[in-house]
Amino acid sequence: MDQDDKLPDPFTAVVVLSGGMDSTTLMAHYAALRHKLIAVTIDYGQRHHREIDSARAIAAHYEAQHHVVDLRGFGSLLHGSALTNDQVEVPDGHYAEQSMRATVVPNRNAVLANVAVSVGVAHRAAIVALGMHAGDHFIYPDCRPPFISALRELVTVANEGFATPRVEAPFITWSKADIATHGTRLGAPLEVSWSCYKGGDRHCGTCGTCYERREAFKNAGVSDPTDYLDDVTEFAVP
């Protein structure tokens, strides 16, 4: 292997793009830093499959190379999550409620991140970017700082001798309102992004991720471009 092949391209970033507002803002963030963007979207059989259409539109907006990776067989094995099993009801309420544990997909971010890392190594990208934020810490263990630290060590060990990307999660200590503010400031196409876990034609406005989205724009004091079925119902913080 040529020595140069062991060095990542400092101008290339692989972004895990779900199609939601966090990853849309993530795309805007690295576009503003003038990176060449490679977007990786994972189809794991999620019931809110519409987010993949949003991801395609967002990748096109940024003229990013876009790859949709088919892991539907993986998702079909995960029977206990409301996101992969339509027999499990998607809960309404505040995101910090214990009922939101029904939306956990076991080890999801470890799988998604490592797929993106493989793409990053193959393309000699300097960065693999993930969009988790502080609001995710309540429910999702794979959205917390210790996960990012462990993932970075794994990536370094697993790719020794190759062009190894740096795992970045720039929003890991941010609130959802911070992301709404940042995305709006950067002109991210947040109106195209999709959050609703129920997967209808419009955002329901009451499932955990819809309510978190509504709350974020409200707390940020910026315009919410989202069309909700219910934008009135309020939930108390647990």
CATH, residue 171? 3.40.50.620
Strand, coil or helix: 13: strand
Domain limits for position 49: 3-87+105-196
In a domain, 18, yes or no: yes
- The CA distance from 21 to 183, in Å, is 8
In a domain, 71, yes or no: yes
In a domain, 96, yes or no: no
In a domain, 100, yes or no: no
Q: How confident is the model at residue 227 (pLDDT cuts 50, 70, 90)?
A: very high
Q: What percent of the chain has pLDDT over 90?
A: 77
In a domain, 95, yes or no: no
In a domain, 124, yes or no: yes
Burial 3-16 (b: 16+ CB within 10 A, else e): eeeeebbeebbbbb
Q: How confident is the model at residue 83 (pLDDT cuts 50, 70, 90)?
A: confident
Per DSSP, helices labelled H in 33-144 are 50-61, 72-75, 108-122
pLDDT digit string, tens, across residues 44-73? 999 889 999 999 999 999 999 999 999 999
Overall average pLDDT of the 181-207 stretch: 96
pTM of the shown model: 0.94
In a domain, 203, yes or no: no
Q: How confident is the model at residue 31 (pLDDT cuts 50, 70, 90)?
A: very high
Can you give the pLDDT at residue 5?
A: 64
Domain count, the chain: 1
Overall average pLDDT of the 216-225 stretch: 98
In a domain, 190, yes or no: yes
